[in-house]
Structures are given as structure tokens and as C-alpha cells.
Amino acid sequence: MLFVVVAIIAIVLLITGGFVQSLNFLLWVGVVLLVLAVIAFLIRMVSGRRNV
């Protein structure tokens, strides 16, 4: 019985750890995309072009 409980806890922690790592990766991807969007916006504002 104890082995089953430990196995279930280990599986839950493994899934949760992978989920947190993937969320961390997606967070960094979002930050990079935000920075690129801000840079593109600033370049467009400085160059004075209004077309998208």
C-alpha cells in the first residue's frame, strides 16, 4: 500500500515538474516575442512609416 502511494506521488510530481518547465519555457518565449514586438514598434515609429 505504501509503495502505491509513493508511486502515485512520484508520478504526480513528475507530471507537475514537466508542466512547470514547459510553462517556464513558454514564459521566456513570450518575453522574447514581446521584446521583438516593442523593437519593431519603435523602429516603425522612428522611421515614420504608417503602413502595417
Q: For the chain, which ranges sit under pLDDT 70?
A: 49-52
The predicted pLDDT at position 19 comes to 82
Cα angle for residues 47, 51, 52 (degrees, 5° grid):
105
pTM beyond 0.85, yes or no? no
The predicted pLDDT at position 39 comes to 93
Q: How far apart are CA 37 and CA 44, in angstroms?
A: 11
The predicted pLDDT at position 25 comes to 87
